[in-house]
A and B are shown apart, each in its own frame.
Chain A
């Protein structure tokens, strides 16, 4: 994908596209973390506003380290940060009381009933046992498995386990929910429900969600903002709409003489991507539409359809990662085979699967 000047400015530097509201749930300044000689986070300046935000990045980008840092579980090497106004260095306990964390991996005791597992997770926050039980009923009802709450977790499907993990995270109605791959491994119906549940939390509950995911489609449906990490650095940050607006293209469907048209457009300095009869031409400051029509007229190509193409978040993510020199799989690949699909060509030391 071609990258405009403004888009390139967005990469490799902590460039904030839009003026974010100062109502920030997470803010970091110069956050740096070394594991021995390995640099995991480098000078991270983040401003995550209230609402739903996606935390993106290929494997080894520093997402897990970032999450552990903001949970106050590991000490930063330098820099500072706040979560819900609490210092990540000194107020880890306070932070973990006010957030709800939904881990990506299994985090449930398979031999316990869902209701007791969720109740216990509430008690671990300091809830009174009776109150925790009442809230466990409400939370499980909210995530859609109220009628299954007395079943053993070992008999649950993946979707029900994900729902139970979410119930554990939201039992105390936290101000910020950190969901690590919430829709991973779910079928379409369950995935829809998970997405709508997160949306309900944001829209009705007025809660904030920080969602780490590889599924861009889900991210786009839940989140307004993204934070993209790459090699421990901030690669991009801002509102999804604003980031997508940076890269605008015109899509045309050509009938006949497609190759001469492509050549002519490229000769005239336009950036063209082509797949069969479909071409996408990057919009320039000049009148791109007229230039395309003029070129088509000159080579005798028919343009059957022409419209402005709005890139999806996935296009955006792939473009950024491509620009940074990494191959990343698409959502389809991820859904088809989550483990294999997450292999990126990053070095193994960074968590990539390249040999």
Chain B
């Protein structure tokens, strides 16, 4: 474009606008290398890049291990299932309290007090008491541990919709509920059976027990361990079934405690008022305790009915809880809850 074309008296032809839009009419004839200008940078540093992945997916046991690890490691470190801080603190306190008899065995050995050892040392009654003693272990510690653990394990999946995360993946409902059951049971086992084993080993270490003593006491020890398994299975079954019918962690926790303490209280009231022990058969704790007393060989609390009644009742309670659990988990949705 020349200056002449910009004179005030120049005719209005639209030429200038055309040239602005499409380039000058002069000078374009010369051959020159055409280069595309770089796109303007907007200042945004994010650049979306698709990255493919061709790795292999492991099988069923790897997936189940992931669920188990997720729940177990959540107690100890971040990045896994977020157990609440109060739960973690209570678990620590419960573990310390559960080790109180082991500590007293060590103390009796350290200060050389046979009186303390006579009260707290390993014996038939003390092995029973470590697992199934009612106060304080099965009032203040183990049921509360179970309530805190099972409360949100399934209900929070319902509440947060995370069940979709499991069921839209190659996880069967049996694996889902099985791994959750086992992981909660393992955490309880660390506290109940773990402390029980430490108690036994404290006796061996502190008092220099030999093979003869160990062989002598070992059947009782095993029976105590079996009682621990029964207790954990019963608490977990009832707790998880309550968790599966709920959307929060409060109701299952409180529900579990209400069932355990309510039935026990009812059994005591009925026995005291009517001199009938029948109602203890609906108390999960009493049933486990009765079976445990027979297994370990201590004197049974209930004498009006044989221990097999308690065993049948225990099986029925667990079967009912597992039925509720399985039916509720099988109805959990992927698309919506």
Contact = CB atoms under 8 A, between A and B. Distances in A.
A36 to B, nearest CB: 14
B170 A125 contact: yes
A16 interface: no
B63 A124 contact: yes
Contacts of A309: none
Given A103-B334, A104-B335, A127-B57, A204 B168 contact: no
Interface in B52-88: 52-55, 57-60, 62-63, 66-67, 70, 78-82
A256 interface: no
Contact of B58 (A71, A128, A142, A205): A128
A197 interface: yes
A197 B48 CA distance: 8
Nearest to A127: B57
Given A71-B168, A73-B334, A103-B168, A201 B50 contact: yes
Contacts of B167: 73
B108 to A, nearest CB: 44
B50 A204 contact: yes
Nearest to B171: A124
B161 A106 contact: yes
Which of A103, A108, A126, A127 has most B Cβ within 10 Å? A126
Contacts of A108: 160-162, 165
Given A124-B169, A125-B170, A128-B58, A173 B79 contact: no
Interface string B154-167: 00100011101111
Contacts of B59: 126
B211 interface: no
B247 to A, nearest CB: 12
Contacts of A128: 58, 62
Nearest to B172: A93
A138 interface: yes
Interface residues of B, number: 40
B170 A103 contact: no
A125 B79 CA distance: 18
Contacts of B135: none
Contacts of A73: 167, 334
A126 B164 contact: no
A350 B80 CA distance: 40
Contact of B336 (A64, A94, A129): A64
A182 to B, nearest CB: 14
Interface residues on A, range: 35 or more
B109 to A, nearest CB: 43
Nearest to A123: B66
Given A103-B335, A116-B79, A125 B161 contact: no
Interface in A9-67: 64, 67
Contacts of A233: none
Which of B62, B66, B167, B171 has most A Cβ within 10 Å? B66
A6 B60 CA distance: 50
B175 to A, nearest CB: 10
Contact of B63 (A94, A105, A112, A123): A123
A111 B55 CA distance: 29
Interface string A111-127: 11100100111011111
A291 interface: no
Contacts of B156: 109
A16 to B, nearest CB: 26
Contact of B170 (A126, A168, A196): A126
A105 B82 CA distance: 21
A135 interface: yes
Contacts of B48: 142, 144, 196-197, 200
Interface string B323-337: 000000000001111
Nearest to A201: B50
B53 A172 contact: yes
B51 interface: yes
26 contacts: A67-B335, A68-B334, A71-B334, A73-B167, A92-B170, A96-B168, A96-B170, A97-B57, A101-B168, A105-B161, A106-B160, A108-B165, A110-B160, A112-B79, A120-B165, A123-B66, A124-B63, A124-B66, A124-B169, A125-B169, A126-B60, A142-B48, A142-B51, A172-B57, A180-B335, A201-B50
Shortest 9 CB-CB distances between A and B: which pairs?
A: A123-B66, A101-B168, A126-B57, A173-B53, A111-B82, A126-B58, A64-B335, A93-B170, A106-B161
Interface of B: 46, 48-55, 57-60, 62-63, 66-67, 70, 78-82, 156, 160-162, 164-172, 334-337
Given A142-B51, A200-B48, 16 more contacts: A64-B336, A71-B168, A106-B161, A107-B162, A108-B160, A108-B165, A109-B156, A120-B165, A123-B63, A124-B169, A125-B170, A126-B58, A126-B59, A126-B60, A127-B57, A205-B52
